[in-house]
Amino acid sequence: MILSIESSCDDSSIAITEIATNKLIYHKKISQETEHSCYGGVVPELASRLHAVALPEILKETKPWFNTLKAVAVTNQPGLGVTLLEGIAMAKTLATLQKIPLIAVHHLKGHIYSLFIEKETTFPLLVLLISGGHTQVIRVKNFEHMEILATSMDDSVGESFDKCAKMMGLGYPGGPLIEQLALKGDENRFDLPVPLRNSPLIAFSLSGLKNAVRLVVKKLGGDSEMTQQDKADLSASFQKAVKLHLLQKSKKIFTKEPIKDFAIVGGASANKYIRSAYENLCSEFGKTLHVAPLEYCSDNAAMIGRYAIDAYERKQFIDPNEIDIISTKKQQNGMLL
Ligand code: KG4
Ligand code: ZN
């Protein structure tokens, strides 16, 4: 078994995965959404303190598997430094006490492996990763070779949902709240700009759209003056502009990339409106769409454990004294390292 730990943002999660079968034996996640909701976003220090309580609580439940453990895996990048620290401290201690190898996992590679929980891997694969921290298209040849083809120049998709929700006084996380509200809204009421519409760049940008939403909120008198219908219409119009932006840039990539399998991963890949738009796009381009089960779209330790199996088979271990905490950094096109 491999015990895996995830604490890169506001979810404390631990999983146990069987190496020989990829079977997920145990998985638990404690989310901190309620605690961060009043701030409209994640407060790193608060998140860190909540991990310090939640992780040991979950770990207690995994004791029955302790003597079957062959390795411990932990997310070490990218993420919030103070929250990564909590998971890493626990993983280092476990690896040392149990005398088992330690595996450092790149969070974004973990999201890609959310597609393979309890499954074999299928490569090559084109992946659109839309999370709270990142928006990227990645060409995944295999475990070793993951190349970033496009990235956001500013905000990520999830972040733009969170910030627009905050402007409308909806709470956190904004993604699911905006998606729900948009169901009752008119997506054509506000003519919001589709980012980089006339640019040949194969890249993403969400900050201009976010600013356009801010101006509409201001024009309507601020969130306290807006009616529920105003908020629903603005949510729907915003979501439509995000969808059109993603589709426009994805089309450019699809015309160049012969890989038949395409996947959407990350927290925002739970969005059914975006998923269904990609179902249509994939059928238009003859591609097969893959998505992770809804419960594994947002951060979880099951995806970290699944990646760790492939790392374990390649003996990609790290000395507990040498594991680095690599906090959030904007990644340009290049390899996912
Ligand atoms: O992957 P994730 O759990 O964390 C990061 O690695 O960043 O993604 C969290 C993000 C949040 O910004 C959240 O608002 C967004 O995913 N999200 C959604 C939806 N569900 C979660 N965005 C749009 N629509 C959703 N249904
Ligand atoms: Zn994530």
Q: Give the DSSP per-residue string, 115-166.
A: GGTTS----SEEEEEE-SS-EEEEEE-SSS-EEEEEEBSS--HHHHHHHHHH
Q: Which residues crowd ion ligand 2, with CB under 5 Å?
A: 131, 299
CATH superfamily of 2-117+296-336: ATPase, nucleotide binding domain (3.30.420.40)
Ligand 1: atom nearest CA of 271 is 26
How far is the centre of ligand 2, averaged over its atoms, from the C-alpha of 13 (Å)?
Answer: 12
How far is the centre of ligand 2, averaged over its atoms, from the C-alpha of 266 (Å)?
Answer: 6
Tell me, what's the pLDDT at 135? 97
How far is the centre of ligand 1, averaged over its atoms, from the C-alpha of 173 (Å)?
Answer: 7
How far is the centre of ligand 2, averaged over its atoms, from the C-alpha of 129 (Å)?
Answer: 9
Tell me, what's the pLDDT at 242? 98
Please state which CATH number belongs to domain 125-291: 3.30.420.40
The DSSP output letter for 182 is H
How far is the centre of ligand 2, averaged over its atoms, from the C-alpha of 133 (Å)?
Answer: 7
Sheet holding 102-106, edge to edge: 24-31, 11-17, 2-6, 71-77, 102-106
Bridging pattern class, strands 24-31 and 71-77? unpaired
Residue 27 identity: H
Query: Please, which residues bridge with residue 71 across strands?
Result: 2
Ligand 1: atom nearest CA of 162 is 14
- The residues of the chain that CATH labels 3.30.420.40 are 2-117+296-336, 125-291
Tell me, what's the pLDDT at 104? 98
Tell me, what's the pLDDT at 334? 86
Q: Give the DSSP per-residue string, 261-323.
A: EEEEESGGGG-HHHHHHHHHHHHHHT-EEEE--GGGTSS-HHHHHHHHHHHHHTT--B-TTTP
Tell me, what's the pLDDT at 330? 60
How far is the centre of ligand 1, averaged over its atoms, from the C-alpha of 71 (Å)?
Answer: 29
Using DSSP, state whether 79 is helix, strand or coil: coil
Please tell me the distance from the alpha carbon of residue 271 to that of residue 150, in angstroms, as a whole number: 21
- Quote the pTM value: 0.96
Ligand 1: atom nearest CA of 156 is 12
Which amino acids bring their CB within 6 angstroms of ligand 1?
9, 131-133, 158-159, 161-162, 173-176, 179, 266-268, 270-271, 298-299
Tell me, what's the pLDDT at 324? 86
Tell me, what's the pLDDT at 331? 64
Tell me, what's the pLDDT at 333? 74
- Per run of 10 residues, the mean pLDDT along the chain (length 337 residues) is 97 98 98 91 95 98 98 96 97 97 98 98 98 96 96 96 97 96 98 96 97 98 98 98 98 96 98 98 98 97 98 97 82 77
* 86 and 74 Cβ atoms separated by less than 8 Å: no
For ligand 1, pick from 9, 298, 329 the residue to mutate: most ligand atoms within 8 Å of CB.
298
Tell me, what's the pLDDT at 332? 66
Tell me, what's the pLDDT at 40? 83
Tell me, what's the pLDDT at 281? 98
